[in-house]
Chain A
Amino acid sequence: MPPPDRATVATPWRPLRRGAWRAATQTDTAPETDTQTTTRLAPPWNVVVHDDPVTTMVYVVRVFMEIFDYGRPKAHELMMEVHTTGRAVVWTGDREQAELFVHKLHGKHLLAHLEQSDADS
Chain B
Amino acid sequence: MILAKVADGVWLYEMPAFVADTLLSLPDWVESDDPEVRKRLLPDAYADPEEDRAWRAALGSSLEHLFATRTAIVRGDLKNLRVHAEGEGWESGEDADPEPFTPDRARFSVFIPAAHLSAWVSTLQAGTHALFILEGLSAEDLGDELDEIEDDDRKVSLVRLSVLQEILVRLIED
Contact = CB atoms under 8 A, between A and B. Distances in A.
Contact of B45 (A54, A56, A108, A113): A113
Contacts of A81: none
B106 interface: no
Contact of A106 (B42, B47, B121, B142): B42
Contacts of B122: 107-109
A62 interface: yes
B6 interface: no
Contact of A58 (B44, B142, B172): B172
A62 B44 contact: no
Interface of B is mostly: helix
Interface string A96-121: 00010011001111011111000000
Nearest to B133: A54
B22 interface: no
Interface of A: 52-56, 58-59, 62, 99, 102-103, 106-109, 111-115
A54 B6 CA distance: 28
Contact of A109 (B129, B161, B173): B129
Nearest to B59: A103
16 contacts: A53-B139, A54-B128, A54-B129, A54-B161, A55-B128, A56-B165, A58-B169, A59-B168, A59-B172, A99-B45, A103-B62, A106-B43, A109-B41, A112-B43, A112-B45, A113-B47
B46 interface: yes
B88 to A, nearest CB: 31
B161 to A, nearest CB: 7
A48 B168 CA distance: 24
A47 to B, nearest CB: 10
B63 A103 contact: yes
Given A54-B161, A56-B165, A115 B47 contact: yes
Contacts of B149: none
B66 interface: yes
Contacts of A54: 128-129, 132, 142, 161, 165
A58 B168 CA distance: 10
Given A54-B132, A109-B122, A109-B126, A114 B169 contact: no
B128 A102 contact: no
Nearest to A115: B47
Contacts of B142: 53-54
Contacts of A109: 41, 122, 125-126, 129
B125 A55 contact: yes
